[in-house]
Structure 1
């Protein structure tokens, strides 16, 4: 696992051997950040299920102003903090040890321009995360969502699809917020399946 572009390009990221940890592949991240390239500079970014930190560190490497990584496993948090120290990330990277759903119910302390939602698949956390997310979002926020290849990927009417893709294992999409959402948001079936792309 490595950072693909930006200031820290080529930096390797350690990946813990932990059930449910499924880092976003290099190929998918490269596609995602090509979509995000005009939008990432200066953004405030939230990575809710940080895991390896690949998405959050990639965003910081490519010019995000601030990235907050939320991870509940203590060992992974120590690894993430070690990586941030090694990169001399300073105030650009903040790492919080917390359960993502519980963290979203904490007192609001700022809104985010871009949110990565890539939870462990077997926990089926997407609807609950999306329900609690709106207060944390900038009015024109972007959302990256990753789900199983055979699962639903659209986050609902409050989000406008921008780009979507699929590998043999995952479906992924980038969406833009179209209006502040005060009601619960649930996953809706994706009406336009996309063709698979090969894994890295």
Structure 2
């Protein structure tokens, strides 16, 4: 089992998250604290979902390193058609299951799994929107991106959001991904990519 690096940059994370918009706007939930867990800050999440506003409604969403579940819950709140969250941490998955039950949400699915192993081995089903916020300093982001592209996990014009400790231009993403938007807060780079059919 991979353990997040204790040296990873930290942003946000007081054990509580707030849904920014959509049907569950302003609802607040606790989440289990864990080393390396970096919930996307409210202001970054708000900016991201402003970028994605035309594309979330009805979308099929994957949150491959769900952690606190902030992005997963936000997408469902804003009308995603379905969403799948993956995370290795059993406490994080159990917590998110409780949140979905509280919200009476039946179009969110949770699987306790290593994202790289899951993307490598499971039958692919294309997603419209993918969130990638892996633990830093573990070389997980690029392998996940390559698996998404090579194994058929992405719709023809899918959007992929990444969080990384390195600038987006240095990540070596698949050649048919276009950097649409980027932002930096503290030590963390946030980027939104659009895929075009290879």
Normalising by structure 1, report the TM-score: 0.85
Partners of 1:29 and 1:169 in 2: CA distance: 16
SS of the aligned residue for 1:165 comes to strand
Q: Who is 2:125 aligned against?
A: 110
Instruction: Tell me by how many angstroms 1:157 deviates.
Output: 2.0
Partners of 1:172 and 1:112 in 2: CA distance: 20
Q: Who is 2:12 aligned against?
A: none
SS of the aligned residue for 2:74 comes to helix
Deviates more, 1:153-162 or 1:171-180: 153-162
Q: Who is 1:38 aligned against?
A: 54
Q: Who is 1:189 aligned against?
A: none
Partners of 2:40 and 2:100 in 1: CA distance: 19
1:29-70 deviation per Cα after TM superposition (whole angstroms, max 9, x unaligned): 000000000111010000000001000100000010001000
Q: Who is 2:11 aligned against?
A: none
Deviates more, 1:30-39 or 1:119-128: 119-128
Question: Are 1:133 and 2:165 an aligned pair?
Answer: no
Q: How many residues align?
A: 177
Normalising by structure 2, report the TM-score: 0.86
Q: Who is 1:97 aligned against?
A: 112
Aligned pairs for 1:159-174 (under 5 A) are 159-174=177-192
Maintained 8 Å contact 1:71/1:99? yes
Q: Who is 1:146 aligned against?
A: 163
Alignment gaps of 5+ in structure 1: 181-200
Maintained 8 Å contact 1:13/1:54? no
Deviation beyond 6 Å, 4+ runs, structure 1: none
SS of the aligned residue for 1:127 comes to helix
Maintained 8 Å contact 1:160/1:177? yes
Question: Are 1:70 and 2:78 an aligned pair?
Answer: no
SS of the aligned residue for 2:121 comes to coil
Deviates more, 1:169-178 or 1:47-56: 169-178
Q: Who is 2:44 aligned against?
A: 28
